[in-house]
Amino acid sequence: MDTSNEQFSHIYDQYIEKIYRFVYLKISSQEVAEDITSKVFLKGFEAYKKGQEIKNMGAFLYQIARNSVIDHYR
């Protein structure tokens, strides 16, 4: 595994429960919350791999999660 994958793996471990909890409280469905959470981290990883400047990874992931929840209700 290259270093960017390892670095994002640590980010994933640090934020997975927090992002899932945030989404679950908005959605109230375990299956949908898991699906949205996985998409949040996929989008985050894609941005991370492209080398996009991310100053605050937690805020970045929460923003993706917030937007994903909004999209879910549209």
What pLDDT score does 4 carry?
81
Q: Return the pLDDT at 1.
A: 56
pLDDT tens series, the chain, 74 aa? 578 889 999 999 999 999 999 999 999 999 999 999 999 999 999 999 998 888 999 999 999 999 999 999 99
Report yes or no: 32 and 72 within 8 Å, Cβ to Cβ: yes
pTM across the whole model: 0.91
pLDDT at 5 (0 to 100): 86
Closest to 44 (Cα-Cα) out of 56, 29, 33, 27: 56
